[in-house]
């Protein structure tokens, strides 16, 4: 199916459902710029059957023909929907579920209180973070929580942050777990993030990665009833019973 970008933007939910059945070719000014297709889940050990459609209308990539960074900007400008752009693929971010939002709220309160009076600032989504693997590979993500320690120095003239957060938190959902566990882990590690928290409300676990020299230096998984401490911020810790209430 071939559809122009204006039609897709105005009826995104409709085309998300159709993409589970067939690829949607997206055009602008008569030129093909992207393909909307359902992703396949490589993580069969998380309970999905290999080859089944994943993302469940929560996060879809414009797969197949990859979009350029300029095409991503053009496709998403003046659009109130939330998107991420990773390694040439565009991902739609839909409204999260209750467990996700409870974990996000509790975590951000803990982070906000702990960082009061300190040099670093915790921020919460939606907030674009632009990460560059190199000059040609530009990515735009919206972590659930990010801790930024050079905010004043890295704001551009339009009030957008152009640096790399020290710590990033992603809260998994059924639709975004493969992206968060694989694509984003590699992206954050490669682009200079020092610590990455993966919060899993489904299994009530938190895994914390410490990155050094674009590699995993250490990682630990904490489970319900345990307390998860930060590697890089001494004294910052989270009781998992507080963020996993249901």
148 HSE (CA, 13 A, CB side): 19
Minimum mean pLDDT range among 38-42, 182-186, 215-219? 38-42
CA distance linking residue 239 with residue 224, whole number of Å: 8
What are the respective helix, strand and coil percentages of the chain, to the nearest 5? 25, 35, 40
Which of 5-14, 60-69, 135-144 has the highest average model confidence (pLDDT)?
135-144
pLDDT digits (tens, 9 = 90+) for 118-158: 999 999 999 999 999 998 899 999 999 999 999 999 999 98
Task: Say which residue the tokens 């489904």 belong to.
Answer: 202
Cα separation, 10 vs 6, in Å, equals 6
Give the other-Cβ count within 10 Å of 166's Cβ: 18
Mean pLDDT of all residues in the chain? 83
How does DSSP classify residue 231? S
Structure confidence by residue, pLDDT tens digits, 15-54: 665 666 667 788 877 777 887 776 554 343 334 333 323 3
Topology at the third CATH level for domain 98-243: tt1808, chain A (3.90.1570)
Helix ranges (DSSP H) in the chain: 5-10, 12-19, 69-76, 98-114, 177-178, 185-191, 240-243
Residue 34 CA to residue 70 CA, distance in Å, equals 12
What are the tens digits of pLDDT across the range 223-232?
A: 989 999 999 9
Q: Residue ranges per domain, the chain?
A: 2-93, 98-243
Q: What is the pTM of this model?
A: 0.74
């Amino acid at each position: 199916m071939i559809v122009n970008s204006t039609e897709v933007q105005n009826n995104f939910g409709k085309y998300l459902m159709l993409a589970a059945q067939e690829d949607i070719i997206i055009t602008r000014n008569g030129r093909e710029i992207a393909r909307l297709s359902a992703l396949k889940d490589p993580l069969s050990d998380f309970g999905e059957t290999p080859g089944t459609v994943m993302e469940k209308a929560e996060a879809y990539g414009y797969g197949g023909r990859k979009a350029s960074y300029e095409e991503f900007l053009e496709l998403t400008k003046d659009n109130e929907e939330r998107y991420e752009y990773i390694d040439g693929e565009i991902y739609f971010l839909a409204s999260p579920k209750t467990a996700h939002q409870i974990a996000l709220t509790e975590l951000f309160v803990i982070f906000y209180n702990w960082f009061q009076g300190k040099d670093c600032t915790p921020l919460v989504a939606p907030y674009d973070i632009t990460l560059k693997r190199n000059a040609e590979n530009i990515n735009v993500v919206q972590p659930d929580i990010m801790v930024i320690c050079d905010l004043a120095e890295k704001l551009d003239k339009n009030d957008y942050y152009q640096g790399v957060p020290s710590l990033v938190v992603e809260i998994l959902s059924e639709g975004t777990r493969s992206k968060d566990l694989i694509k984003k882990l590699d992206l954050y590690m490669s682009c200079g993030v020092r610590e990455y928290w993966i919060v899993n409300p489904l299994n009530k676990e938190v895994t914390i990665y410490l990155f050094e020299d674009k590699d995993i230096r250490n990682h630990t998984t904490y489970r319900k009833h345990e307390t998860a401490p930060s590697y890089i911020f001494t004294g910052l810790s989270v009781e998992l019973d507080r963020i996993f209430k249901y």
